[in-house]
Structure 1
Amino acid sequence: MQILVLILGIVLLPKACALKCYECIPDLSGSCTETTKDCPSNTQCGFNSIQFNFIYIAPNHNKSGTKADVKEKGCAAAEECVQASVNYGVIQNLITSKCCTSDLCNSQDAPEGSISSPNGKKCFYCDGTDCSKTLNCNGDEDHCISTTVTAGGQKATVKGCASKVICSSTQTAQIPGITGAEISCCQGDLCNSASSTTVSLLLFVTPLISLVLFS
């Protein structure tokens, strides 16, 4: 009898622990239809906010910019619940991902991230094909990064600053917007090389946004 109870417990426990969560995956326009989903037993309810800050640097070095927000909800592994940023000089991505552990607890949107103050670290970034420009890192961006994606049959590489969690090999694949990219990180000022690239940043931005929306 005890063996039967044990077997039933093993079979039924995952179902008892599974959560029902809201799911909302945005399309290319940024809108989505919210539904509910039964999540796997080893996941939580998650809600992500990914903010793109596009920065225009004028010839007189004055900066201006626009931003775009992508919000999504769904089932999430614990490793996906992070706050991080990656800054490529002309575009900075702020990722705020939170998780909760009760049914339909992800009803609200994740809060938008905010740009922190410079932390004293410097990395190279690419202005067009020139990657010898220096960038002041912000907040917890304690690594220099080089990121490469394939676009239109060509590889596009950009450089900048990143939070440690962006560079973690165990978590990179789980973070929205990073899946599919080749990432190289290092510590130390200006450690990410000043070598130039041969393709435009525009070839990088479009697939990056697609990776965010469909990861």
Structure 2
Amino acid sequence: MYLLILVLGIVLLPEDGSEYYESTRRSCVLPEECGEHSLNVGFYRDVIASKCCNTDLCNTQPPPEITPPVPSGIKCTTCDEQGCNAAVNCLGNEDRCISATVFTPGYMTTMKACASKAQCLYIQTALMTETTAAEVNCCQGDYCNSASSTSAGLMLLVAPLISLVLS
């Protein structure tokens, strides 16, 4: 177990600029949860930057800066109010496309986005440990998450994912 300094950055990406929300937390995590994680659905990008250490009270230092995003060159399918056929340009360490479907009694929700490798693993673990049935697939290559698209609303899995990350 490692001590963690964590910065949660939530970026809304309107076309004329961006809004940014930041929250800092300190806790204990597994080593694979250290580093920068990112999820990008196009109109919204969730970034978690963490710095881990393993000595007494080492997480009292300032949190790490979130890396400014630059295009990664990958393109993925995302969902919008029209369905799951829109494109999103991945940023920073987002080197994978993700497709997640969560099944709850009488309801199915789908999310498609760009994600970092660490975020894919985190989402798979988080959704599988919940009491909700879920199917999560991460893949590499442009638009590799476009197969078997399903309709979805605007916020899709974003709100549940925010609550997972912020809890």
TM-score above 0.5, yes or no: yes
Is the CA contact (8 Å cut-off) linking 1:156 and 1:201 kept in structure 2?
A: no
- Distance, in Å, in 2 between the alignment partners of 1:178 and 1:111 is 29
- Distance, in Å, in 1 between the alignment partners of 2:124 and 2:149 is 25
Q: Which of 1 and 2 has higher RCO (CA within 8 Å, sep 6+)?
A: 2
For 1:156-202, what per-residue CA distance to the aligned partner results, in whole angstroms no more than 9, with x for missing partners?
21212111222348x9527xx99646421111111111655433233
3-state SS, counterpart of residue 118 of structure 2: helix
1:51 and 2:9 aligned: yes
Q: CA deviation at 1:70?
A: 2.8
Q: 1:95 aligns with which of 41, 48, 69?
A: 48
State the percentage of identical aligned residues: 42
- Distance, in Å, in 1 between the alignment partners of 2:46 and 2:22 is 10
Q: 2:97 aligns with which of 114, 139, 144?
A: 144
**TM-score for the superposition, normalised by structure 2:** 0.81
Q: CA deviation at 1:118?
A: 0.8
Structure number with the higher strand fraction is: 2
Tell me which residue corresponds to 2:71.
118
State the one-letter code of the partner of 2:125: A
3-state SS, counterpart of residue 144 of structure 2: coil
- Distance, in Å, in 2 between the alignment partners of 1:64 and 1:195 is 32
For 1:59-118, what per-residue CA distance to the aligned partner results, in whole angstroms no more than 9, with x for missing partners?
xxx343322223211122212212121111111111112211221111134224134211
Q: How many residues align?
A: 164
- Distance, in Å, in 1 between the alignment partners of 2:86 and 2:147 is 8
Is the CA contact (8 Å cut-off) linking 2:81 and 2:153 kept in structure 1?
A: yes
Tell me which residue corresponds to 1:24.
none
3-state SS, counterpart of residue 192 of structure 1: coil
Q: CA deviation at 1:155?
A: 2.3
3-state SS, counterpart of residue 157 of structure 2: helix
Structure 2 portions without partners, runs of 5+: none
Q: 1:84 aligns with which of 37, 40, 53?
A: 37
- Distance, in Å, in 2 between the alignment partners of 1:89 and 1:119 is 14
3-state SS, counterpart of residue 202 of structure 1: coil
**TM-score for the superposition, normalised by structure 1:** 0.65
Tell me which residue corresponds to 1:71.
24
- Distance, in Å, in 2 between the alignment partners of 1:55 and 1:148 is 23
- Distance, in Å, in 1 between the alignment partners of 2:149 and 2:124 is 25
1:128 and 2:81 aligned: yes
